[in-house]
């Protein structure tokens, strides 16, 4: 087998042609005219005006190369984690941090930050970036690294959390880590936030739970007295007689947390366990009602499909119109990620679950 493994053998020429097109297009933008990435589906909606730009977009939407020996991948900035994981898993590798939603892009997660259940070991997406090609406002494309002799090292460090304001990542080289085919998942229930937090701190410090290695860790709170840590360990084989669960059809992952203490998923299904029902938000669209779910195509149980509903609602104002007819106050939906120092987690959870 030849290394590195090229996913798209023509990618270098395609990529440099795309970079040229994107730089030329940037040069045509008038002062004051807004610049946006033509990302689809997009959290930040926008489209570039001509077909030339579309082909540039296409060329930065792939995982270009996977090098299993050095465990790195060269990836277009607008590549979704879904495509990236699909390219790396066949080699028994995955990105160090895979956000839960399939259509988050690598560039978006690095510049806008992200976090996932391996983050207690591997950090957030930008912490496993080795190098980036960044299109700056002047139209230059700079390759930036953290090397001490890199004249653009400051841009490498300033890029995370800059939300595209310092430039667009066109290509990133990222580290990968080895996977195993399955994940043994344990849902451990706690009766209080302080008990959950203490256990979480112990797992993070030791990397173990009851003497076994922990690869993944996340938590779900249903009420003050029903809180869970979900502990994931990659395994090479299933125990005799065990099958993997499938939460991409009728079964709903977050409900399994309350009903199962032990579970097994394929590594791919583990990574996208929250996407199928967009955590629990698919409920708002009726997708968790058995009668509706039976009819709902399995391939459309995905967070980006629910996003389209939200976008349509924003455009056509269905909810606003319904509220007006019902003489109810207008409501604004807010999705807010928060970060809390672990020492203050019990205080926050007690506050959040107070009735």
Ligand X SMILES: Cc1cc2nc3c(=O)[nH]c(=O)nc-3n(C[C@H](O)[C@H](O)[C@H](O)COP(=O)(O)OP(=O)(O)OC[C@H]3O[C@@H](n4cnc5c(N)ncnc54)[C@H](O)[C@@H]3O)c2cc1C
Under the rule (CB under 6 A), what is the footprint of ligand X? Answer: 37, 39, 42-44, 77-78, 99-101, 104-105, 107-109, 111-112, 114-116, 163-164, 168-169, 335, 337
Report phi then psi at 210, rounded to 5.
Answer: 50, 45
Q: Which is nearer to ligand X, 115 or 323 (CB)?
A: 115
Listing DSSP states for 222-247 in one string gives EETTEEEEEEEEEESSPPTT------
Task: Spell out the SS3 assignment of 246-303.
Answer: CCCCCCCHHHHHHHCCEEEEEHHHHHCCCCCCCCCHHHHHCCCCHHHHHHCCHHHCCH
Listing DSSP states for 151-187 in one string gives TTHHHHHH-TTSTTSS-EEEEEEEEEEE--SEEEEEE
H/E element, 143 = strand 141-145
For the CB of residue 149, give the shortest distance to ligand X in the complex, in Å.
25
For the CB of residue 238, give the shortest distance to ligand X in the complex, in Å.
27
For the CB of residue 61, give the shortest distance to ligand X in the complex, in Å.
10
Q: Which is nearer to ligand X, 68 or 114 (CB)?
A: 114
Assign residue 113 a region: left if phi > 0, alpha if psi is -120 to 50, beta otherwise? left
Q: Which is nearer to ligand X, 78 or 200 (CB)?
A: 78
For the CB of residue 77, give the shortest distance to ligand X in the complex, in Å.
3
CB 126 within 8 A of CB 106: no
Q: Which is nearer to ligand X, 154 or 208 (CB)?
A: 154
CB 230 within 8 A of CB 253: no
For the CB of residue 166, give the shortest distance to ligand X in the complex, in Å.
8
Cα–Cα distance, 37 to 103 (Å, whole number)? 15
For the CB of residue 119, give the shortest distance to ligand X in the complex, in Å.
8
Q: Which is nearer to ligand X, 3 or 163 (CB)?
A: 163
CB 25 within 8 A of CB 48: yes
Q: Which is nearer to ligand X, 39 or 293 (CB)?
A: 39
Residues with Cβ within 8 Å of residue 49, at least 6 apart in sequence: none
For the CB of residue 100, give the shortest distance to ligand X in the complex, in Å.
3
Cα–Cα distance, 289 to 278 (Å, whole number)? 15
For the CB of residue 164, give the shortest distance to ligand X in the complex, in Å.
3
Q: Which is nearer to ligand X, 68 or 80 (CB)?
A: 80
Q: Which is nearer to ligand X, 227 or 303 (CB)?
A: 303
């Amino acid at each position: 087998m030849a290394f590195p493994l090229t996913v798209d053998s023509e990618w270098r020429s395609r990529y440099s042609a795309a970079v040229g097109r994107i730089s030329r297009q940037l040069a045509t933008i008038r002062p004051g005219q807004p610049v946006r990435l033509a990302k689809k589906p997009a959290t930040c909606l926008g489209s570039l005006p001509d077909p030339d730009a579309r082909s540039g977009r296409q060329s930065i939407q792939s995982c270009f190369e996977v090098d299993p020996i050095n465990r790195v991948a060269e990836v277009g900035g607008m590549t979704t984690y879904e495509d990236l994981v699909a390219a790396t898993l066949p080699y028994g590798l995955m990105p160090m941090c895979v956000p839960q939603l399939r259509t988050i892009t690598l560039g978006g997660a690095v510049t806008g930050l992200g976090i996932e259940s391996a983050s207690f070991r591997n950090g957030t997406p930008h912490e496993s970036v080795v190098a980036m090609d960044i299109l700056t406002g002047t139209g230059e494309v700079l390759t930036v690294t953290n090397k001490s002799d890199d004249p653009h090292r400051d841009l490498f460090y300033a890029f995370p959390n800059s939300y595209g304001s310092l430039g667009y990542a066109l290509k990133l080289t990222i580290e990968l880590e080895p996977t195993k085919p399955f994940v043994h998942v344990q849902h451990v229930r706690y009766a209080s936030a302080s008990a959950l937090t203490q256990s979480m701190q112990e797992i993070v410090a030791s990397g173990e739970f009851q003497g076994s290695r922990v690869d993944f860790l996340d938590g779900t709170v249903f009420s003050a007295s029903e809180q869970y840590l979900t502990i994931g360990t990659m395994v090479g084989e299933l125990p005799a007689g065990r099958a993997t669960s499938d939460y991409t059809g009728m079964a709903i992952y977050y409900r399994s947390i309350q009903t199962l203490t032990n579970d097994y998923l394929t590594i791919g299904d583990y990574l996208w366990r929250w996407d199928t029902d967009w955590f629990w938000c698919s409920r708002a669209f009726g997708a968790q009602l058995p009668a509706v779910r039976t009819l709902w195509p399995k391939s459309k149980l995905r967070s980006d499909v629910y996003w389209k509903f939200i976008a349509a609602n924003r455009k056509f104002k269905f909810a606003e119109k319904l509220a007006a007819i019902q003489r109810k106050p207008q409501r604004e939906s807010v999705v807010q990620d928060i970060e809390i120092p672990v020492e203050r987690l019990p205080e926050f959870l007690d506050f959040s679950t107070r009735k």
